[in-house]
Structure 1
Amino acid sequence: MIYLTVCLLCILGVELFIRLPFRRYIVALGHVSKKSVRVVTSSGISDHWKEKALQRYSRDMALASLRIGFLLVVMGLLIGIAAYLCDLLLPSGGSILEFISSGSGISVAIIVSCVYVFVRNKLGAP
């Protein structure tokens, strides 16, 4: 029963990751990083303007990183709450959170998540 619950929690986690706007912030972080590298390597921009631009780019990268971190915390909290509720409602003989934290639980979670993403992509789910 604990394996089935972990599988369902993994599917929930994958769907949350897909549905939350991670991609938008990761792409934004990549764009700002490329712009900052372009500014640093440019010989036509004075050091004064490089300092001004890099301050802005640093701020933008920090905000995008914080947003990604916030989304990860929200996702972790939602999965943690779901696991806690499953512990309360389902008599599985052990704590799901303890199992997920163990080496075998992490292995099961990785395998189930990868298989789910592969099957989801093959079926052409949006």
Structure 2
Amino acid sequence: MIALAISIAVVLLATEIAVRMPLRSILTNNLQTAEKAVGVIGSRRISEHWKEVVLLRYARNLFVGTARLAVVLLLIAVPVIAGDWLASTLTEAPSTFRLFHWQGALLATLVAAIWLPIRGRLAKREL
């Protein structure tokens, strides 16, 4: 039972972190930069010299955006990994409560699916 409580707490924490992180803006910026790069490569009106200059800047922007995405995903994953480790070491929980099994993934999905609408209602009530 302790493992289940730890798992639920970890999922709620990871969900809150995911909601508060700028995932959408990072992904949108990377997608827009990639689209611009494809447009520059295919353009016949831009000289090869300027293509090199612009594509280097786009490559830098994509690298920074991808690094930011990796940091955000790591911030979401660290509590899940730590919580799963904590649940498995503190208790002799059956593997169904572990978050890295399909039952644990199902539990995490259900908890997050229940929590997000509740969180939305609570946020509207506070305004």
TM-score normalised by L of structure 1: 0.74
Shift of 1:72: 1.5
Describe the shift of the 1:95–1:48 C-alpha distance in structure 2 as closer, same or farther (beyond 3 A). farther
Which stretch of structure 1 is more off in the superposition, 57-66 or 103-112? 103-112
Q: Cα RMSD between the aligned structures?
A: 2.9
Distance between the aligned counterparts of 2:94 and 2:65, measured in 1? 35
Shift of 1:53: 1.1
Q: Provide the aligned length of Structure 1 versus Structure 2.
A: 123
In structure 2, what is the equivalent of residue 11 of structure 1? 12
Distance between the aligned counterparts of 1:38 and 1:76, measured in 2? 35
In structure 1, what is the equivalent of residue 70 of structure 2? 69
- AA in 1 matched with 2:29: A
Describe the shift of the 1:78–1:3 C-alpha distance in structure 2 as closer, same or farther (beyond 3 A). closer
Distance between the aligned counterparts of 1:78 and 1:120, measured in 2? 19
Partner of 1:100, secondary structure, is: coil
Query: Which of these residues, 100, 122, 125, is aligned with residue 123 of structure 2?
Result: 125
Shift of 1:73: 1.6
Question: What percentage of residue pairs aligned between the two structures are identical?
Answer: 24
In structure 1, what is the equivalent of residue 106 of structure 2? 107
Shift of 1:88: 6.5
- AA in 2 matched with 1:106: A
Q: Which runs of 5+ in 1 are unaligned?
A: none
